[in-house]
Amino acid sequence: MALKATIFKASLQVSDMDRNYYGEHQLTLARHPSETDERMMMRVLAFALNAHEHLSFGKGLSDTEEPDLWQKDLTGQIVHWIDVGQPDEKRLVRAAGKARRVTVYAYGRGADMWWEASAERLGRARNLAVWRVPGEASESMAKLAERAMHLQCMVQEEQIWFSSAEATLQFSLAAPKPRSLAG
């Protein structure tokens, strides 16, 4: 018997002063049986950092043809493809051909090694941005996961404050250093 997804609900308030975006979103997250709290919360963070009225969750782990999040325009064209973790290079190259923008939020122990191995090939995609979520931040965010969550995310001068009733986290994202192509 196949395990079913676990449903989480999140009320997310976003105040992104860097993008001049302010909004409240009621999110329904289906957590795949193989997905961890850390990965699910990285999807919530990715939503908060890219919040838009047309941004929605894709099938992610359940379907390799869909991202974790995406924003489509009114014609159905993919404006923004967003993945979390350490996606397959081929997947990201295909995504770069389908979407105007592709963003990856890499996290976890192997994120730096993943980028080192992928940097040369993925660096050719001009519409791809890769951001590194600090390990302490992703692990702390996992502790905020509850079936019903009330979350706030504030972004100012590239600093992120992410909070629930129990805790507030402050961190910034880093762009991984690309492998030197000169030497």
Question: Are β-strands 78-84 and 168-171 bridged in parallel, bridged antiparallel, or unpaired?
Answer: unpaired
Residues 21 and 49: beta-carbon distance below 8 Å: no
Fold of 14-171: Restriction endonuclease-like alpha-beta roll fold (3.10.640)
Counting beta carbons within 10 angstroms of the beta carbon of residue 161, is it exposed (0 to 12), middle (13 to 18) or buried (19 or more)?
Answer: middle
In whole angstroms, what is the distance from residue 28 CA to residue 18 CA?
A: 26
Q: Cα Rg for the chain, rounded, in angstroms?
A: 16
Angle of helix 111-122 relative to helix 89-98, nearest 10 degrees, comes to 50
Which pLDDT tens digit goes with each residue over 145-169?
999 999 999 999 999 999 999 999 9
3-state SS, residue 142: helix
Tell the burial category of 82 from Cβ atoms under 10 Å away from its Cβ (0-12, 13-18, 19+): buried
Please state, in angstroms and rounded to a whole number, the distance separating the CA atoms of residues 29 and 74. Answer: 23
**183 residues of the chain, pLDDT tens digit each:** 567 889 999 999 999 999 999 999 999 999 988 899 999 999 999 999 999 999 999 876 666 679 999 999 999 999 999 999 999 999 999 999 999 999 999 999 899 899 999 988 898 888 999 999 999 999 999 999 999 999 999 999 999 999 999 999 999 998 865 543 332
pTM assigned to the model: 0.92
Residue 130, Cβ neighbours under 10 Å: how many? Answer: 25
Element containing residue 129 per DSSP (H, E): strand 128-132
Give the start-to-end residue ranges of the domains of the chain: 14-171
CA–CA dist 25, 97 (Å, integer): 29
